[in-house]
Amino acid sequence: MNIILNTHTGYVDVMNSKQDITLPSGITIDKILEVYEKMLMVRTLDERVWAMNRQGKVPIAASCQGHEAAQLGTLLAAEQGPECFFFTYYRDLALKFGVGLDETQIMLSYLGKEGDPYSNGRQFPLQGSDLPRNIIQLSNVVAAGMTQAVGHALASKIQNKSTVTMSFFGDGASSQGECHEAMNFAGIHKLPIIFICENNHYAISVPQKLQMAISEVSERAPGYGLEALSIDGSDLLQVYETMQKAIDLAKTFNPVLVEMNVERIMPHTSDDDHTRYRDLSEIDELTSRDPLKKLESLILENNLSSDIQIKKIKEACIERINTATTLAEAAPEPDTKTLMNNLFVE
């Protein structure tokens, strides 16, 4: 046992020596701590924008709480190559932060301010494109991005680009005709694509059993000639390992459907009240499948970090987000002279 006197806080940091934990290949303890810090940033941001919605500052927020491990675990695998491109959806804050957007840019987007990197205030927060970070486009029409992702993957294959395209969508989106068309096309042409269903078992208020007769979306994969993987999307390491497999398959032209079972911890959006359609007991239980809590337990149980370290990280996150909020609130709104701009490109 090491006892370290923390000169900043004056606390005595008690830390057991790191236990032997078997980590998947390519993952280090530092990596896990790095992802943990990102996840904490995402959670804190998510909570902050929700609070700012209640203050009347952020017009709309779709919470990512419960989905963070699915998205960050995917990026962890994607980091190892080949180059990946993303067609995300509106519940993908973790992915959008994970690819490198900073908290100030995110705040600018939530507030619809000048400098929003996605659309400069034309669309809902974080909708549009973030091309420098390989986020191609996000449609607010549920499942419309799926056929586009297939087209993107088709173009990669035609042009011999060794890349993988990822299409993120919800369980509700899986009912759309375009979901069927997208998977069918990808299967026929054996495209380098991964369909990632973040199954939180609700589409706003409609539960999965009213959305489909099957218990897992991934059961449909064989019907399209896709590989299927179905996992616990709240478990970071499971997501990472699964996505490694999925990327290996996709890059060798075996399109995959990965179903990540997650929980939507918050209501659908800041305009929703999920107590209208969910039992309180169900809502209470959601935290047991909270990916952040799970990752925190993994870290603490294996002594990868200490309570005090974690407390410090949390404080630092709040500090960063406070600064971002101040900056974004002070930023100007988009100039009304830009209203008609960029309807077409040259």
Ligand X SMILES: Cc1ncc(C[n+]2csc(CCOP(=O)(O)OP(=O)(O)O)c2C)c(N)n1
Question: Dihedrals φ, ψ of 78, to 5°?
Answer: -65, -30
**Interaction with Mg ion in 180-219: which residues (CB under 5 A)?**
200, 202-203
| β pairing state of 206-207 and 227-232 | unpaired
Q: What angle do CA 49, 51, 53 make, to 5 degrees?
A: 70
Binding of residue 6 to ligand X (CB under 6 A): no
Which residue, judged by CB position, is nearest to Mg ion in the bound state? Answer: 170
CA 241 to chain centre: 16
For residue 144, count CB atoms less than 10 angstroms from its CB and return exposed for 0-12, middle for 13-18, buried for 19 or more: middle
Q: How far is the CB of 229 from Mg ion (least distance, A)?
A: 18
- Tokens read off for 274: 């999920």
Binding of residue 181 to another protein (CB under 8 A): yes
Binding of residue 260 to ligand X (CB under 6 A): no
CA 166 to chain centre: 12
How many C-alpha atoms does 217 have within 13 Å on its Cβ side? 31
Question: Dihedrals φ, ψ of 164, to 5°?
Answer: -125, 135
What ranges in the chain are assigned the alpha helix state H?
29-54, 68-78, 93-98, 103-111, 144-158, 177-189, 221-224, 236-251, 280-285, 291-301, 307-330
Binding of residue 196 to another protein (CB under 8 A): no
Binding of residue 170 to Mg ion (CB under 5 A): yes
Binding of residue 342 to another protein (CB under 8 A): yes
CA 57 to chain centre: 23
Binding of residue 159 to another protein (CB under 8 A): yes
| β pairing state of 256-261 and 227-232 | parallel
Binding of residue 282 to ligand X (CB under 6 A): no
Q: Which is nearer to ligand X, 62 or 317 (CB)?
A: 62
Binding of residue 66 to Mg ion (CB under 5 A): no
Three-state secondary structure call for residue 165: strand
Q: Determine the interface stretch with another protein among 55-63, 148-156, 235-243, 300-308 (rule: CB under 8 A).
A: 148-156
Q: How far is the CB of 271 from ligand X (least distance, A)?
A: 11
Binding of residue 335 to another protein (CB under 8 A): no
Tell which one of 6, 9, 80, 140 touches ligand X (CB under 6 A). 140
What is the DSSP code (8-state) at residue 151? H
Binding of residue 12 to another protein (CB under 8 A): no
Q: Which is nearer to another protein, 183 or 266 (CB)?
A: 183
> For the packed helices 177-189 and 144-158, what is the interaxial angle rounded to 10 degrees?
10
Question: Dihedrals φ, ψ of 199, to 5°?
Answer: -85, 100
C-alpha–C-alpha distance, residues 165 and 153, integer Å: 6
Binding of residue 65 to another protein (CB under 8 A): no
Q: Which is nearer to ligand X, 15 or 204 (CB)?
A: 204
**Binding partner of residue 204 among ligand X, Mg ion, another protein, none, CB under 5 to 8 Å per kind?**
ligand X
Tell which one of 48, 67, 96, 152 touches another protein (CB under 8 A). 152
> Applying CB under 8 A, which residues contact another protein?
85, 87, 118-120, 122-123, 127-131, 136-137, 139, 141, 144, 146-156, 158-159, 161, 177-178, 181-182, 184-185, 188, 341-346
Please give the residue ranges that form the binding site for ligand X (CB under 6 A): 91, 140-142, 170-173, 198, 200, 202-204, 264, 268
Sites of contact with Mg ion (CB under 5 A): 170-172, 200, 202-203
